[in-house]
Amino acid sequence: MSLAHPDTLEPPKVGATLQNLRQAQGLSLDELSRRAGVSKSMLSQIERNQANPTVAVVWRLANALRVELSELLGGERVVAPAIETVPAHATPAMSSPDGLCQLRILGPIDLAGQFEWYQLTVQPGGALESAAHEPGSREHLSVLSGALEISAAGGTQQLKAGETARYAVDGPHAIRNGSEQPAVALLVVLHP
């Protein structure tokens, strides 16, 4: 096995890679400088291969560009699978204290508080009663099977399978199943 002589080893040149990643994301030097906390002049020097960044600077740049360190250093990017599958048993769920309502959390956790969606199952006589969400919040409820009643903003509406209701939830609101059959729906919550 032969080893390269230390004099022939050079640090990776990240200039062209940095510039390509920055331009592909439509970022100016100013914007990347602000995001990464690295001076614009240093970024310019790195892109022209006039300076080699420290590990800390490479780390800040990779985070600002949302790429792996290895990609910025010229290695292979770790690519997320084209299709991410969540097995049924791994989908988190919450139940009401009486067990008559179950919410399966279908949306990714990183969108919580912005855009959330659930599979809602309400047994006969069950009710999902909620306090007010922040001003401007809305829910979209699409009944897949059975029937549900929505109460919001002083009004009440009956929904049957195939129907969707959209309503403000910046006040108390409730979803009830007054029928004798279980109901299943998709519930989307949009936060302002």
Q: Which tens digit of pLDDT belongs to each residue from 107-164?
A: 887 777 788 999 999 999 999 999 999 999 999 999 999 999 999 999 999 999 999 9
Range among 39-43, 56-60, 99-103 rated most confident: 99-103
pLDDT at 90: 83
Confidence of residue 192 (pLDDT cuts 50, 70, 90): confident
pLDDT digits (tens, 9 = 90+) for 150-171: 999 999 999 999 999 999 999 9
Range among 34-43, 61-70, 86-95, 179-188 rated most confident: 179-188
The C-alpha angle with vertex 126 and arms to 122 and 127, in degrees rounded to 5, equals 95
pLDDT at 9: 58
Enumerate the domain spans of the chain. 11-72, 91-190
pLDDT at 11: 64
Please provide the average confidence, as pLDDT, over all residues in the chain: 86
pLDDT at 129: 95
Residue 100, classed as helix, strand or coil, is: coil
pLDDT at 3: 47
pLDDT at 77: 47
Sign of CA dihedral 39, 45, 30, 57: negative
Is the pLDDT confidence value at 80 over 70?
no
Which residues, 6 or more positions from 45, have their beta carbon under 8 angstroms from its beta carbon? 51
Contact 152, 109 (CB under 8 A): no
Topology at the third CATH level for domain 91-190: Jelly Rolls (2.60.120)
| The CATH number, out of the four listed (2.30.29.30, 3.40.50.300, 1.10.260.40, 2.60.120.10), of the domain defined by the range 11-72 | 1.10.260.40
Nearest to 148 by CA among 122, 186, 129: 122
Report the DSSP beta bridge partners of residue 104: 93, 119
Contact 150, 141 (CB under 8 A): yes
Q: Which of 35-44, 66-75, 76-85, 94-103 has the lowest mean pLDDT?
A: 76-85
Is the pLDDT confidence value at 51 over 80?
yes
Two tokens, residue 157: 């509406």
Q: What CA–CA distances, in Å, run from 159 to 2, 42, 177?
A: 75, 60, 10
The DSSP line for 136-157 is: T-EEEEEEEESEEEEEETTEEE
